[in-house]
Structures are given as structure tokens and as C-alpha cells.
A and B are shown apart, each in its own frame.
Chain A
């Protein structure tokens, strides 16, 4: 292996999804900035987001950022940090207009404004009766390709602004000196050469880690590299037990059918043809939040009411069905849904069903099952996106994180649909600005001469090992045990089993190698290293799930079915101890208090979460 190539930038951003690109635009305006990404920017999984991006614009129905904040906190089952949530919902509005000015092709209302639609969990007080809530049109959309359009628009603006990109460079290590982050080490995939990026600050924007589970909506590349590498340097991961399963994944494949299907009136049926959500969420039905819908599907399947007794149910978006149940918002205007309407609003979902199932959703319902979708947890940060070193909230100078790989904790125990894309742009922008400020106020600090030595050693060790078994088997077993024991439902016994299995898999992982010994596009090597990240994060996830002895949001313990606000109204911090050990700490939830009748009371009081 050759000597590493040295680069120096004020700011290095790892990841070119929505969070990374937004940060790059803002940091790049002020200081030397480069984006390092293992994929070409347009390949990032932000492009897969379909449904929309939430902001209380009130373009169609009256709404307010306070409504949005309330929904986000309730949706997250209250273990949500309230200061960042208020920032999120307030700045969302500004950020949407920013995106529009950058050229994002939002769909339009007849009067030319950004069009909005309903999405699960987004509500407002019923006008005239504020004790009740009703769904509200808050999701701004560009057909059902909103994420693709965001990614495209941000990338276009980066080109316009001349942002520096290192495309297909895979980060393998952080350069940590005296508890500060001073750069990264990455491998140039096309040549196998190592590169040292010396920086004043580094941002992790590496996205989610759905590949930990067997059925997932996540891209192959989503292996949690950022949080995992930070974790190995002693930086905790927060709230890993909160992993969202989206109810409407394509059967077996896991590819997502957007929640927009239900927002536009789609209905879920069990094998007996019953609209089962009427039982589980009489008020919101299919528009209840995702964890509720996913559990309902599991319940139906367990009770033998899956289709043909199998592990799936139907999602029906046929116009005849939607009209029969009057489940589309347009019924309120006295209109009916027709093929053209569905075709224009949900073209991507129709296409996915036609391609992967051979089913035309205008004629037949689609077989669906819950799919591993979104990590509420990740590398902990404060609302300036600075990474936290521990549960007491000390920061790691020079290290920032945003997007799905981070946890500022605006999603708590369960994220609402359309709230991730806002998270990316709001906190991506904050990260860019914060890093630029940091770079102006600080000088480069020295890094060791051999900063890439540990990475070099890591690679040489993999290449020198014989392949005793295909490592893919280890990955398959990891995904299976995580899906079965640490998925929608969890028990102490199952988690214990998962914990032992993960430990065994780690041993097997460490003893086997790969066939490819080359330097050019050694994707075998990179996939092997990605699996290592998944194993470490799986250990942290299982330990976090074991420690939370209650059911809250996406975390459902069958042995502790109730929410326990006395013991568990807090965040979980998991820190690596030794090889596979995990130390668990807790951190208080950030609660905002207001004055009411001369007393300080919580602005968002705890309530039972019902839809």
C-alpha cells in the first residue's frame, strides 16, 4: 500500500445525502469545504424518500409550527428533546422556501403555491373544538419523488457553488487526538489508495443502518459507518432501541410503498377482507403513526388473519375501494378518486408494484409487510449539531453530525413521516453554519504523521486472512436474529438470545477473510468492513433494548407492555466497553416549561398516546 495522500480543508463532510449536501452549501459559502462520500451524491438514499417534507406553511389548511411541534413530540412518545423540536418546526418553514428558491420543483396548488397533503400523525386542533384533533395537510411534495428532488436540487446548487467533492471515497476512520476530532481517513475506491483529510471540523452525515435487519427499505450502502466508527472511538450512540418499522414494505423485498398511499386514501385489509385499523386506531385508522400500524399488522398475522395465513396483509389503493370508504381528503370537496388521480399522485408506488410484484395497484391490492425503515437513534448531538461525548452532554470539539446518522432527538421513540427530510435540511443547515463558525474561530491542530496507520493495519489484516466461510452468511444470520428478536416486538429472552448470537457472529466475522485481494474497486473488502459496522451497532442496539424495560413508540417489550414515565422518561446512551461490552447511561429529556397561573408547568404535558 502506498503512502496516503494528504489533504487539508477547514471542514470535511462525510456523506452526500440531504444532510451532507445542505451542510456543504452553507459551510462552503464561508470556509474551505469538501464532501467525502462512498457514493456519487445522486446515489444517496435521500433520493428514495417519496412522501414529502413537513412544514406548517398553511398553504391549503390553517396550520402552525406549534401544531407541528406538538405532533412531533407526541409522535415520538415524549422522549423527544423539545428545544430542537421547536427549532425544527420553526425553521422548517424557512427551509422549504429556501429549497423552492433553489429550484425544487414542488407540486403546486391552483394558485401557484407549494402543494401540501396529509401524512400520518400530522394533525391540528379541530377548528371550533380544540379538544379534538384532525389530520392536516402539512407535507410538501413533488409527486412521490420528494427526496429525489431534494437530493437533485441540493446537488445542483453544490455544482453551481463549486463545492469540492471526493466521490466514491469511503471513510474508514476518524482522526481523534486528545478527545478532539481533527480529520478522517478514507479509501479511494477506484484505486485502493488511502487519503488523510486533515480538518478543523468533521461532520458525520452517513445516513441510516437499516441493513442490520432482514427486510428493509434501506439501500445496500446504509450500514451505519459514521456512528459505528465514532462508537469505536468511545463516542456513544443514543436511543438505539428506537428503530422504526414502516408498515407498508413490499412483501419480502422490503422496498417501501410510501405512506402517501394511505394519505391519499389507501386502506389496509387482512386476509378476511377486514379493515383492521378500525380496531386498533378508531380515530386515525390507516393514518395512525407507523409503529401503531406496524404492530397492528403483526397482531393480525399472529392471530392467523394474514392473507392465506401468511405473514402479510393487503394495501388497497384501487379508486373503487377509496371511493367506497370515502377515505381520500378530496371526498370532502365532493370529488371522487379515479385512476388518473392515483396515477398522478402515486406514480412511483404504482411503478414499484408493477415492476416488483407484477401487480397493477389500480386493479389489485398489494401484499405488504412491515419493513425496517428508520433509525431514530444515532450519534448524539446538541441542537447546534455538535457531537456529545457522554450522557452529561460534554461535546467532542471538531465533530458534528446531522441527518439519520445523528440523534438530536427530534424523533424520540418514533419518527413521523416527512419529518426526516425536514430534519436533514434544518439541522444540515445548522451544521454547515456551525462548522463554518468553528473554522473561523479555530486553527488547524496537528495530527499524527501516521494518522492512517490503524486503517492500513485493519485492511492488511482483512486481506491476509483466509476466507474460512463466506462472510455473507454472517450478515444473513445477523439480519435474521435482529429482525426476529429485536424487531417490532421484543422480550428479555429474545434479546438475550440476540446478544449471544451477535457476540458469536463477531467472532466468526473476525476469523474469516475475503477472496478479493485487489486494490481497484475492492467492493468485497468494503462490504466486509461495512458488516463490521453493523455488528458493532447491533450489539449497542440489543443492549439498549434490554435496558429499556417498558414499551414506548417503536420499542415494544412484550414483557413490559406499558410506558413507564417514572423509570424511563429519558434517553439511552450506549458506550463501547471492551470488545463487545456495552455500557448504558441515561440522559434527561429536554423539557420546556411555561408559566401558567403563576406556576411553572411543562409546555407539552405527558399524555397517553392514542390515535
Chain B
């Protein structure tokens, strides 16, 4: 391999950021309010690092969730500069300005600062039977599935239940009974799995008044998804299955032919 330029040049330079944080402490505040912090950040710091620096160095009462630090656990969904994202998936060098505003995701009750009550979100998820149903006796080895059949539901398996999509969805803001895009994505993951036998039941659940028809195809969810899932497309496929009564899963003979 020939020598390359050092890509890490400039990693140690710093830049002063102003963080506007929406604060709410249920034990002290009647209403949320904004608070401003100044903090030095490096180009490859994550916004999560910036927030933790503020918390650790300046004010440890700030409430936020975090765990993996690299976009796989779904803990730190928040509204950053008006858009839902995971704080650990945005890095400072990609910020357009030196000022960032950070507030909790919308549509779920705020508990403290950036922490919202996730229970309603998980309840919607649980309502669509998010588990494989197959009542045939299991073989002694694996159930067979072709690569094409496996690919059919791949997109939905990427979901980390971060709620970025559901809390960016205008119909959900208006009506918290709507199951929301995340639940539909997870229903899709099973409806289109060739090994599953409960597609009909799940479709019935989503055909409900608070189901898939609440979606007005605004695409907010797709642009909010930090995992790059084509959320709106998956929702459309569920709608199509409801309209046509056909769940198009590749058949093994089709594939082998």
C-alpha cells in the first residue's frame, strides 16, 4: 500500500460551541425553559460528547439517556436543531453553525430535561405482536429460508426502537393512540418473514382506526430514522397488503426456478 495522508490531522483542534438546552425538572419547574452553555468541542466529538462534557464539567443535574455511544442502542433520541436524531450519531465537524439547540423528542411526556416517558411508545410496539409465530413443530436443525426470502424483511430488522420516527410524525403528535411508524416497521418485519404464520392477525391489528391508515405519507419518519430504514415504504407495503389481501413473500420454488 502506498503512503496516504494522515486523516487524523486536526482531530485535536477545538471550537467553542453554544448549546441551548431545554430544561425541565419536575421537582422544581412548572414549565420547561431554555438554558445556555458554552463548551469547547473537537471536530470528531459527537453531540453526545458535547452534552456529556456540559453535564460532567458544568452541571451534573442535566438529565439525558445514553449507552452505546455509536448509534446501536437507541437511548439518546432527541431534537437537535429542530430535527430528530441520536446525539451519538452527529459529529461536531458536520454542524453548520456554532450554536446547537437540543430539546426532548416531541409527543411523549417529558420526565426530566431530555428524558421522555417511553412507555406509550413501547406499548404500541408490543401491540403489533412483535415476535415470530410459527405453530408447526420445529425441525431438529434450522427452518430453511432462501437468501431472497431473508432479504425481503431485512430493512425492518435494523430498527433499534429509538422512537425518532414516531416522534417526528405529525399524525402521532395529533393523536397518541396512533400506533406510529416504529410499530408498523416492526410488524412489517414479521408480516414479510416467510417463517411467520401470523401475518393475518397483525394486518387485522393495523387495519384498526389507530392503525396504518392514520399515516398520511408525509415522509418525516423516513428522514428521521438514524438507521436509514425506508420507513414510509415499509408502511406502504403494509397498506398494499391490506388493500390487495396479498403478502408478497418470495416463494422458494420461484427463487430456485
User: A residues bordering B, Cβ < 8 Å?
Assistant: 39-40, 42-45, 47-48, 57, 96-97, 100-103, 105-114, 142-143, 145, 148-149, 152-153, 156-157, 159-160, 190, 219-221, 251-253, 255, 269, 271-273, 275, 307-308, 310, 312, 314, 316, 321, 348, 351-352, 355-359, 364-365, 367, 470, 472, 514-516, 518-521, 523-524, 527
Residues of the A chain whose Cβ atoms lie less than 8 Å from the Cβ of B6: 307-308, 310
Contact B61 A515 (CB under 8 A): yes
Q: How far is the CA of A113 from the CA of B143 in the complex (A)?
A: 8
Which residue of chain A has the shortest Cβ distance to B70 in the bound complex? A255
The reply to whether A114 and B25 contact each other, CB–CB distance below 8 Å, is no
B: residues with CB less than 8 A from A are 1-4, 6-8, 11, 25-28, 44, 46, 55-57, 59-61, 63-75, 89, 91, 93, 111-113, 115, 118, 122, 126, 129-132, 134, 138, 140-147, 149-150, 153-154, 157-158, 160-161, 190, 193, 195-196, 228, 252
Within 8 Å by CB of A472, from B56, B89, B157, lies: B56
> Which residue of A105, A357, A364 is within 8 Å of B157 (Cβ)?
A105
User: Distance (Å) between the CB of A221 and the closest chain B CB?
Assistant: 5
Q: Give bound CA distance, A359 to B141, whole Å.
A: 41
Across the interface, B132 reaches (CB within 8 A) one of A45, A96, A156, A316, namely A156
B69 touches A255 (CB 8 A): yes
| B59 CB, min distance to chain A CBs, angstroms | 7
Q: Which residues of A contact B73 (CB under 8 A)?
A: 39, 42-45, 47-48, 219
Q: Are A524 and B27 within 8 A (Cβ)?
A: no
**A92 to B: closest C-beta gap in Å:** 14
Known: A273-B2, A365-B1, A523-B64. A42 touches B160 (CB 8 A): yes
Tell me, rounded to whole Å, the shortest Cβ–Cβ distance linking B32 to chain A: 14
A116 CB, nearest partner CB in chain B, Å: 12
Nearest A residue to B25 by beta-carbon distance? A518
In the complex, are the beta carbons of A100 and B44 less than 8 A apart? no
Smallest CB separation, A105 vs chain B (Å)? 5
A45 CB to nearest chain B CB (Å):
6
B164, chain A: closest CB distance, angstroms: 14
Smallest CB gap from A528: residue in B = B60
Across the interface, do A520 and B142 meet the contact criterion of CB distance under 8 Å? no
Asked whether A112 lies within 8 Å of B146 as measured between CB atoms, the reply is yes
B-side contacts of A112, CB under 8 Å:
144-146, 252
28 A-B residue pairs with Cβ-Cβ distance under 8 Å, sorted by A, are A40-B75, A40-B122, A42-B161, A43-B73, A45-B73, A47-B73, A48-B68, A48-B73, A97-B140, A100-B143, A102-B132, A108-B145, A109-B147, A156-B130, A219-B67, A220-B67, A220-B68, A251-B8, A269-B1, A271-B3, A314-B1, A316-B1, A358-B7, A365-B1, A516-B61, A518-B27, A519-B27, A527-B60
Contact of B7 among A153, A364, A519, A520 (CB under 8 A): A364
Query: 14 new A-B pairs (CB below 8 Å) besides A40-B75, A307-B4, A472-B57?
Result: A39-B75, A57-B141, A112-B252, A159-B130, A219-B67, A219-B73, A221-B67, A273-B1, A310-B8, A352-B70, A515-B61, A518-B27, A519-B27, A521-B115
Q: Give min CB distance, B199 to chain A, whole Å.
A: 13
* Interchain nearest-CB distance for A585 vs B (Å): 35
Q: Are A101 and B1 in contact (CB under 8 A)?
A: no
Contacts of A221 in B (CB 8 A): 67
Q: In whole angstroms, what is the CA distance A271 to B131 when docked?
A: 49
Complex CA gap A21/B153 in Å reads: 24
A252-B68 in contact given A42-B74, A113-B144, A521-B63 (Cβ < 8 Å): no
Residues of A within 8 A of B160 (CB): 42, 47, 148
Q: Specify the main secondary structure of chain B where it touches its partner.
A: loop
Q: Which 3 residue pairs spanning A and B have beta carbons closest together?
A: A103-B132, A112-B144, A524-B60
- For B68, the chain A residues whose CB sits under 8 A away are 43, 45, 47-48, 219-220
Tell me if B67 and A39 are in contact (CB < 8 A): yes
- Per the bound structure, the CA–CA distance linking A100 and B144 in Å amounts to 10
Question: Which of A39, A103, A148 lies at the interface centre, i.e. has the most chain B CB atoms within 10 A of its CB?
Answer: A103
A220 CB contacts on chain B under 8 angstroms: 66-69
Set of chain A residues within 8 Å of B25, measured between Cβ atoms: 518, 520
* CB atoms of A159 and B131 under 8 A apart: yes
CA of A339 to CA of B222, assembled, Å:
25
Do A113 and B142 touch (CB < 8 A)? Answer: yes
* Contact status B70-A48, CB under 8 Å: yes
Alpha-carbon separation in the docked complex, A106 to B150 (Å) = 8
CA distance A106 to B56 in the complex (A): 41
A514, B60: Cα distance in complex, Å:
7
